[in-house]
Protein backbone atom coordinates (compact mmCIF):
# COMPACT_ATOMS: atom_id res chain seq x y z
CA UNK A 1 0.00 0.00 0.00
CA UNK A 2 1.41 3.40 -0.89
CA UNK A 3 1.81 6.28 1.51
CA UNK A 4 -0.80 8.45 -0.22
CA UNK A 5 -3.30 5.62 -0.36
CA UNK A 6 -2.88 5.02 3.37
CA UNK A 7 -3.45 8.73 4.11
CA UNK A 8 -6.80 8.75 2.35
CA UNK A 9 -7.86 5.44 3.90
CA UNK A 10 -11.05 5.64 6.00
CA UNK A 11 -11.15 2.46 8.08
CA UNK A 12 -14.35 3.54 9.83
CA UNK A 13 -16.22 3.46 6.50
CA UNK A 14 -15.03 0.03 5.40
CA UNK A 15 -17.59 -2.67 4.71
CA UNK A 16 -16.44 -5.90 3.17
CA UNK A 17 -14.01 -8.73 3.64
CA UNK A 18 -10.71 -7.34 2.42
CA UNK A 19 -7.86 -9.35 3.97
CA UNK A 20 -5.65 -6.26 3.93
CA UNK A 21 -8.09 -4.28 6.06
CA UNK A 22 -6.90 -3.17 9.48
CA UNK A 23 -4.45 -0.40 8.83
CA UNK A 24 -1.69 0.67 6.56
CA UNK A 25 1.92 -0.38 6.53
CA UNK A 26 3.02 2.97 7.96
CA UNK A 27 3.63 2.61 11.65
CA UNK A 28 3.19 -1.17 11.62
CA UNK A 29 5.60 -2.87 13.97
CA UNK A 30 6.33 0.24 16.00
CA UNK A 31 5.67 0.10 19.69
CA UNK A 32 3.42 2.90 21.00
CA UNK A 33 6.20 4.03 23.37
CA UNK A 34 8.56 4.43 20.41
CA UNK A 35 5.95 6.46 18.55
CA UNK A 36 5.41 8.64 21.63
CA UNK A 37 9.17 9.16 21.94
CA UNK A 38 9.39 10.21 18.29
CA UNK A 39 6.53 12.65 18.74
CA UNK A 40 8.15 14.10 21.87
CA UNK A 41 11.51 14.49 20.13
CA UNK A 42 9.76 16.17 17.21
CA UNK A 43 8.15 18.70 19.55
CA UNK A 44 11.46 19.34 21.34
CA UNK A 45 13.19 19.81 17.98
CA UNK A 46 10.58 22.36 16.87
CA UNK A 47 10.84 24.27 20.16
CA UNK A 48 14.63 24.49 19.88
CA UNK A 49 14.41 25.58 16.25
CA UNK A 50 11.93 28.30 17.19
CA UNK A 51 14.24 29.42 19.98
CA UNK A 52 17.19 29.59 17.57
CA UNK A 53 15.17 31.51 14.97
CA UNK A 54 13.97 33.96 17.64
CA UNK A 55 17.57 34.41 18.79
CA UNK A 56 18.84 35.26 15.31
CA UNK A 57 15.93 37.57 14.55
CA UNK A 58 16.31 39.36 17.88
CA UNK A 59 20.04 39.85 17.30
CA UNK A 60 19.23 42.07 14.32
CA UNK A 61 17.46 44.73 16.37
CA UNK A 62 19.19 47.89 17.59
CA UNK A 63 19.00 47.32 21.34
CA UNK A 64 20.93 44.03 21.23
CA UNK A 65 24.38 44.07 22.77
CA UNK A 66 26.05 40.68 23.13
CA UNK A 67 27.28 39.43 26.46
CA UNK A 68 31.00 38.77 26.83
CA UNK A 69 32.11 35.19 26.41
CA UNK A 70 33.15 33.67 29.68
CA UNK A 71 35.86 31.02 29.87
CA UNK A 72 33.58 29.26 32.32
CA UNK A 73 31.06 28.67 29.53
CA UNK A 74 33.73 26.97 27.43
CA UNK A 75 34.58 24.79 30.43
CA UNK A 76 30.88 23.93 30.79
CA UNK A 77 30.75 22.95 27.12
CA UNK A 78 33.73 20.65 27.67
CA UNK A 79 32.07 19.13 30.75
CA UNK A 80 28.89 18.49 28.78
CA UNK A 81 30.88 16.87 25.95
CA UNK A 82 32.77 14.62 28.37
CA UNK A 83 29.51 13.63 30.05
CA UNK A 84 28.04 12.71 26.66
CA UNK A 85 31.06 10.55 25.80
CA UNK A 86 30.83 8.81 29.18
CA UNK A 87 27.12 8.13 28.64
CA UNK A 88 27.84 6.60 25.23
CA UNK A 89 30.55 4.38 26.72
CA UNK A 90 28.17 3.42 29.53
CA UNK A 91 25.50 2.54 26.99
CA UNK A 92 27.96 0.27 25.21
CA UNK A 93 28.88 -1.39 28.52
CA UNK A 94 25.18 -1.90 29.31
CA UNK A 95 24.60 -3.58 25.95
CA UNK A 96 27.54 -5.91 26.66
CA UNK A 97 26.18 -6.64 30.13
CA UNK A 98 29.14 -5.30 32.11
CA UNK A 99 27.35 -4.16 35.25
CA UNK A 100 30.40 -2.76 37.06
CA UNK A 101 31.30 -0.50 34.10
CA UNK A 102 27.70 0.69 33.89
CA UNK A 103 27.75 1.57 37.59
CA UNK A 104 31.02 3.53 37.31
CA UNK A 105 29.88 5.18 34.09
CA UNK A 106 26.62 6.38 35.60
CA UNK A 107 28.42 7.76 38.66
CA UNK A 108 30.98 9.54 36.47
CA UNK A 109 28.24 10.96 34.23
CA UNK A 110 26.39 12.16 37.31
CA UNK A 111 29.50 13.89 38.64
CA UNK A 112 30.12 15.63 35.32
CA UNK A 113 26.45 16.62 35.12
CA UNK A 114 26.54 18.17 38.57
CA UNK A 115 29.78 19.96 37.66
CA UNK A 116 28.05 21.32 34.55
CA UNK A 117 25.04 22.52 36.55
CA UNK A 118 27.32 24.17 39.12
CA UNK A 119 29.24 25.80 36.26
CA UNK A 120 26.04 27.19 34.75
CA UNK A 121 24.99 28.69 38.08
CA UNK A 122 28.48 30.13 38.55
CA UNK A 123 28.47 31.59 35.02
CA UNK A 124 25.16 33.32 35.69
CA UNK A 125 26.44 34.71 38.98
CA UNK A 126 29.61 35.91 37.21
CA UNK A 127 27.55 37.73 34.58
CA UNK A 128 25.22 39.11 37.22
CA UNK A 129 28.14 40.45 39.29
CA UNK A 130 29.56 42.06 36.14
CA UNK A 131 26.35 44.09 35.72
CA UNK A 132 24.57 42.02 33.08
CA UNK A 133 21.11 42.02 34.66
CA UNK A 134 18.04 40.43 33.16
CA UNK A 135 16.18 43.63 32.28
CA UNK A 136 19.18 45.56 30.99
CA UNK A 137 19.58 43.79 27.65
CA UNK A 138 17.65 41.24 25.52
CA UNK A 139 20.79 39.11 25.18
CA UNK A 140 20.72 38.61 28.93
CA UNK A 141 17.19 37.21 28.66
CA UNK A 142 18.33 34.59 26.16
CA UNK A 143 21.18 33.64 28.48
CA UNK A 144 18.65 33.31 31.31
CA UNK A 145 16.55 30.98 29.14
CA UNK A 146 19.54 28.69 28.66
CA UNK A 147 20.13 28.85 32.41
CA UNK A 148 16.53 28.05 33.27
CA UNK A 149 16.15 25.24 30.73
CA UNK A 150 18.15 23.07 33.07
CA UNK A 151 15.36 23.34 35.63
CA UNK A 152 17.18 21.13 38.06
CA UNK A 153 19.50 24.05 38.86
CA UNK A 154 16.70 26.10 40.37
CA UNK A 155 16.38 24.30 43.74
CA UNK A 156 20.16 24.28 44.23
CA UNK A 157 20.72 27.99 43.74
CA UNK A 158 21.93 29.94 46.75
CA UNK A 159 19.11 31.63 48.63
CA UNK A 160 18.49 35.15 47.38
CA UNK A 161 20.42 34.69 44.10
CA UNK A 162 17.45 34.28 41.75
CA UNK A 163 18.30 36.19 38.54
CA UNK A 164 14.61 36.92 37.88
CA UNK A 165 14.61 39.32 40.85
CA UNK A 166 16.99 41.73 39.09
Residues 99-107 have a mean pLDDT of 94
CA-nearest of 122, 125, 120 to 165 is 125
Residues 68-97 have a mean pLDDT of 90
Q: How far apart are CA 95 and CA 99, in angstroms?
A: 10
Residue 131: DSSP 8-state: T
**Residue scoring higher pLDDT (7 or 66):** 66
**Residue scoring higher pLDDT (82 or 136):** 82
Residues 120-148 have a mean pLDDT of 78
Overall pTM surpassing 0.95 (yes/no): no
Residues 14-42 have a mean pLDDT of 67
* High-pLDDT (> 90) share of the chain, %: 25
Q: How far apart are CA 152 and CA 155, in angstroms?
A: 7
Amino acid sequence: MSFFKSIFEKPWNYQGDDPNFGGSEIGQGLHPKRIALRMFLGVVFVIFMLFIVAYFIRMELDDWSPMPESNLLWLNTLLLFICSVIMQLTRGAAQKGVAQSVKYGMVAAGVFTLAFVYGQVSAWEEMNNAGYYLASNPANSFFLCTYRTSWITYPWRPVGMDPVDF
